[in-house]
Amino acid sequence: MNEASANAPTVLGFNFDNSYARLPRHFFERTNPVPVAAPRMIVFNRPLADALGLEAETLAGAEGAAVLAGNRMPAGAEPIAQAYAGHQFGHFTMLGDGRAILLGEHVTPGGRRVDIQLKGSGRTMFSRRGDGRAALGPMLREYVVSEAMHALGIPTTRSLAVVATGEHVYRETRLPGAILTRVAASHIRVGTFEYAAAQAGRDDLRTLALYTIDRHFPELRAEDDPFPALLASVLARQASLVAQWLHVGFIHGVMNTDNMSLCGESIDYGPCAFMDAYDPATVFSSIDHGGRYAYGNQPSIAQWNLTRFAETLLPLLGESEEAAVETATAILDTFPAVFRDFWVSGMRAKLGLFHDEEDDAELAQALLALMREEGADYTRTLRDLCRANLPDTPFFRGEGFRHWLERWRARLARQREPLEEARRLMRSRNPAVIPRNRRVEEALEAAGRGDLAPLTRLLAALERPFEDIPAHAAYAEPPKPAAEPYRTFCGT
Ligand code: AMP
Ligand code: MG
């Protein structure tokens, strides 16, 4: 550490109460971030800092950069690396925070508890052969996409800042290093329970389960037998989350069990991307060869991950293993119906429908089938559908669509709400602006050259996704048909 980083406590509005560090010892390792050469603030999320009750003005400056680079500890922080395991592309592995440090849990003036985590903060005992660091591009990508998800109204971890380290990281090439400050309701993952099941006894597993209930499902505290209810509640939140991903065309890219947060927030934005032309088989990640995490597979992968979660809970789910398996299976079997309800109700709103009718799912599916046949842009098509006058494009002129349109109009006419109200609902559910892949790449590439203007413009457009703002029109444009399919690379 340099002179400026002496251990004088800084407050900066942080109000830490570190409950995770009070869990049994083997759930974490106390460890400090490794200081970096020259912290420099690249992006700072002032509205988020304000919402958390932090001192935005100071945090945005040099002192904030030192703190959010891990060079200087704010008062009350108790830095730890969390232990966890996970199924990665189907294979079980012991993992843990190999390049992240949880500074602690900040309790906001409103009483909300959030994890403050530095990602890219140096080696820990879980680093295996990794360097514990992160490159600027992937950290900015997480910042952009997580903030876009938040603006879209989808549960997600947030991003408070990206700080350049003034050091390089070595991947295929030499890249500028950076640290992201991630704000999360917690970092309890399916993989945390997999770790507990593999490494801890029943008592510690029970402690973790009760801790999770306290933190995320307090309404279950009063239950006589809260553990089956915990499984059902986690299942419902995942089903809801994945339905919302599908509604906006989001592909997570690495739905490993260590990247699935029990509280139902989207977490760990690596090779994620938004789909352009509608096709459920869409995969962007360069490492997802089998298409395991393709757009349309996400619901069944969520159920697969929930099954791994249920397995870890078995010791808490019944007197005998047989009874426990029966309880778990009965809950897991509800997933398809629970997911479908979330999915259909979201699609209804996207189509301007206020009440249920039997055929609504089929009506939505029929539109998606047409979009797939025609290679129509998912986001743009649905946004165009909110307009009184449909644009004169080949898709909307097509025979199949005209037939569907008649059916949809008849459906709209059967509801009491006036058309204008239906359009208002649609405009609030079908974004105009999403983080289009090439726009994100372009912004990250410029930032890598030291030009932050495209990133700033992109972030501004993503902040108001449901408005048609002329200055943001370019961000609503679908890409021109490309020769090369778009690929994202793993966010290391
Ligand atoms: P992720 O792909 O970010 O979900 O990470 C999967 C696992 O690999 C986690 O245990 C990370 O901590 C670890 N990991 C990823 N990148 C690095 C790195 N550069 N150094 C050390 N560990 C890493
Ligand atoms: Mg991860």
Q: Per-residue pLDDT tens for 285-312? A: 999 989 999 999 999 999 999 999 999 9
Nearest residue CA, atom 14 of ligand 1? 98
- Closest among 314, 306, 114 to 206, alpha carbons compared: 314
Cβ of 106 closer than 6 Å to ligand 1, yes or no, is no
Question: Residue 161 gets which letter from DSSP?
Answer: E
Buried b / exposed e along 81-116 (16+ C-beta atoms within 10 A): bbbbbbbeeeeeeebbbbbbbbbbbbbeeeeeebbb
Cβ of 114 closer than 6 Å to ligand 1, yes or no, is no
How do beta strands 80-82 and 85-88 pair? Answer: unpaired
At residue 155, the 3 state secondary structure works out as coil
Kindly give the distance from the C-alpha atom of residue 492 to the centroid of ligand 1, in angstroms, as a whole number: 7
| Single-letter code of the amino acid located at 320 | S
State the pLDDT at residue 486.
75
pLDDT tens digit string along 76-104? 999 999 999 999 999 999 999 999 999 99
Nearest residue CA, atom 23 of ligand 1? 98
State the pLDDT at residue 488.
77
At residue 289, the 3 state secondary structure works out as coil
Nearest residue CA, atom 13 of ligand 1? 98
Cβ of 259 closer than 6 Å to ligand 1, yes or no, is yes
At residue 396, the 3 state secondary structure works out as helix
Residue to mutate (ligand 1; options 80, 87, 99; most atoms within 8 A of CB): 99
The mean pLDDT value for 46-64 works out to 97
Any residues with CB less than 8 A from the CB of 295 and at least 6 apart, and which? 246, 249, 251, 275, 279, 280, 281, 282, 283
The mean pLDDT value for 341-353 works out to 98
Structure tokens at 443: 């912004």
Cβ of 96 closer than 6 Å to ligand 1, yes or no, is yes
Kindly give the distance from the C-alpha atom of residue 258 to the centroid of ligand 2, in angstroms, as a whole number: 6
Catalytic site residue from 97, 258, 268, 276: 258
Nearest residue CA, atom 8 of ligand 1? 98
Cβ of 384 closer than 6 Å to ligand 1, yes or no, is no
Kindly give the distance from the C-alpha atom of residue 208 to the centroid of ligand 1, in angstroms, as a whole number: 23
* Exposure on the CB side of residue 485, measured as CA atoms within 13 A: 11
State the pLDDT at residue 491.
54
Cβ of 127 closer than 6 Å to ligand 1, yes or no, is yes
Where does residue 372 fall: left (phi above 0), alpha (psi -120 to 50 degrees), or beta otherwise?
alpha
Structure tokens at 82: 């969390």
Q: Helices (H) and strands (E) in the chain — how many of each?
A: 18, 11
Kindly give the distance from the C-alpha atom of residue 268 to the centroid of ligand 2, in angstroms, as a whole number: 5
CA separation for the pair 54, 161 (Å, rounded)? 13
Ligand nearest to the CA of 490: 1
Q: Is 258 a catalytic residue?
A: yes
Distances (CA, A) of 184 to 50, 195, 244, 261, 488: 16, 20, 18, 10, 24
Query: Is residue 315 a contact partner of residue 202, using CB atoms and an 8 Å limit?
Result: yes
> In the predicted model, is pLDDT for residue 4 greater than 50?
no
> In the predicted model, is pLDDT for residue 1 greater than 50?
no
pLDDT tens digit string along 142-184? 999 999 999 999 999 999 999 999 999 999 999 999 999 999 9
Any residues with CB less than 8 A from the CB of 242 and at least 6 apart, and which? 298, 299, 302, 339
CA separation for the pair 56, 51 (Å, rounded)? 10
List own/partner pairs for 341-347 with CB under 8 A and 24 or more apart.
Answer: 342/239, 342/240, 342/243, 342/244, 343/243, 343/246, 343/247, 343/299, 346/243, 346/244, 346/247, 346/429, 347/247
Any residues with CB less than 8 A from the CB of 152 and at least 6 apart, and which? 248, 431, 434, 465
pTM: 0.96
When the pLDDT of each residue in the chain is averaged and rounded to a whole number, the result is 96
At residue 352, the 3 state secondary structure works out as coil
CA separation for the pair 22, 29 (Å, rounded)? 12
CA separation for the pair 264, 254 (Å, rounded)? 16
Cβ of 191 closer than 6 Å to ligand 1, yes or no, is no
Cα first-last separation, the chain: 25
Angle, helices 360-374/335-350, rounded to nearest 10 degrees? 70
Q: What's the sign of the alpha-carbon dihedral 230, 232, 237, 241?
A: positive
Atom of ligand 1 nearest to the CA of 97: 12
